[in-house]
Amino acid sequence: KPTPATRIAELRRQLEDANYRYHVLDEPNIPDAEYDRLLRELDELEVAHPQLLTADSPTQRVGNAPSAKFAEVRHAIPMLSLGNAFSDEEVHDFVRRIADKLKRPTLRFSAEPKLDGLAISLRYEKGHFVQGATRGDGATGEDVTVNLRTVKAIPLRLRSGMAGMGKGESGAAQNADEAASPIPEVLEVRGEVYMPRADFEKYNEQARLHGGKVLANPRNGAAGSLRQLDPRITAQRPLAFFAYGTGLVEGAVLPDSHSATLAQLRQWGFPVSGLSEVVEGAEGLLDYYRRIGERRDALPFDIDGVVYKLDDGEGQREMGFVSRAPRWAIAHKFPAQEQATT
């Protein structure tokens, strides 16, 4: 019979692994009822052995004290605002400016869907989630850490290379590309909290039936849920998250390409959009824009365009920024969609 400490460690590993498979790999390995049973067993063990409780246990996601207001957080690295392109011509101009300055005949870009949610920054120290903030004006945002902890797609601690080890697998079983970089002392992850459309509809249906708050649209739903002063309300809202970049990184060197950084974030346990692609030149960008545009209405979440980012870090540094917007990235917006009236 395992000691409480051993059983607690095993339950945490199983719950974190289930969370990773559900939110990052989109391949749930246990039914929700089993997840809840494991969580209940862990909670009972922690209540019986409080000395074994840690803040990043899966049972500690929902705080129970509303705050009076949100503290302010100064972003160590400003959160970018993106310039916009509305036509193919502007995309050609964007690529031409970079090709001229970098004197390169071909350019590789990371092309990504532009989720219409709320931009946030997550701070991890020694792999533990310590603070989360809204974008705010790009320089300072609101500390909504306790609300972000309730979002199951946001890991409370980074998945190290060995975390996914079952009993049977040997170290060698971890295929080569799982050789993750070491976990940084400080890691800031930027991404978008959003409300999947189906969850938004289901939530509103219940809200209408039981007199809860009917949400206007998924974007307002995400923003409103994250800015609740009581995390217990946030915990009841169907929020999801995609990482799309990093901010401050100390004590480790991340890959120097944006696409490789996204792959590393995924290995550490962050959901990253599976629709991101590396494409070449203006043709590659515009082809991506059209393909995503065709699928837009079938996507499980709202997007208001796509984002193009020069993939190599060297090129990004050489291009720099104009005011707060990078010269190396732009959003290419879709024509505004008539919102279905809810």
Q: Which of 23, 114, 258, 332 binds ligand 9MJ (CB under 6 A)?
A: 114
On whether the CB atoms of residues 43 and 6 are closer than 8 A, the answer is: no
Give, as ranges, the residues between 234 and 253 that touch ligand 9MJ (CB under 6 A): 244-245
User: How far apart are alpha carbons 151 and 242 in whole angstroms?
Assistant: 11
Q: Which of 112, 188, 199, 311 binds ligand 9MJ (CB under 6 A)?
A: 112
Based on CB atoms, which residue is closest to ligand 9MJ, 70 or 244? Answer: 244
Give, as ranges, the residues between 26 and 85 that touch ligand 9MJ (CB under 6 A): 80, 82
Q: How far is the CB of 334 from ligand 9MJ (least distance, A)?
A: 13
The 181-220 contact track toward ligand 9MJ, x by CB under 6 A, reads: -----------x----------------------------
Among residues 69, 332, 73, 342, the alpha carbon closest in space to that of 221 is found at 342
Interface with ligand 9MJ includes 151 (CB under 6 A)?
Answer: no
Q: How far is the CB of 142 from ligand 9MJ (least distance, A)?
A: 18
On whether the CB atoms of residues 5 and 12 are closer than 8 A, the answer is: no
Among residues 192, 216, 190, 193, the alpha carbon closest in space to that of 203 is found at 216
Based on CB atoms, which residue is closest to ligand 9MJ, 43 or 277? Answer: 277
106: tokens are 């071909």
Based on CB atoms, which residue is closest to ligand 9MJ, 107 or 119? Answer: 119
User: How far apart are alpha carbons 322 and 312 in whole angstroms?
Assistant: 18
Query: What DSSP state is assigned to residue 157?
Result: B
User: How far apart are alpha carbons 95 and 309 in whole angstroms?
Assistant: 10
The 319-338 contact track toward ligand 9MJ, x by CB under 6 A, reads: ----------x---------
298: tokens are 């079938």
114 a catalytic residue: yes
Binding segment (CB under 6 A) for ligand 9MJ, from list 44-52, 112-120, 165-173, 333-341: 112-120
3-state secondary structure of 12: helix
Q: Which of 118, 307, 310, 330 binds ligand 9MJ (CB under 6 A)?
A: 307
On whether the CB atoms of residues 111 and 244 are closer than 8 A, the answer is: no
Among residues 333, 334, 327, the alpha carbon closest in space to that of 107 is found at 327
DSSP string, 326-339: ETTEEEEEPPPPPP
Residue of 1, 114, 126, 202 marked catalytic: 114
Q: If binding means CB under 6 A, how many residues of this protein chain bind ligand 9MJ?
A: 10
Interface with ligand 9MJ includes 312 (CB under 6 A)?
Answer: no
For helices 32-48 and 4-23, the axis angle rounded to 10 degrees is 150
Q: Supply the residues annotated as catalytic.
A: 114
| Residues lying near ligand 9MJ in the complex (CB under 6 A) | 80, 82, 112, 114-115, 192, 244-245, 307, 329
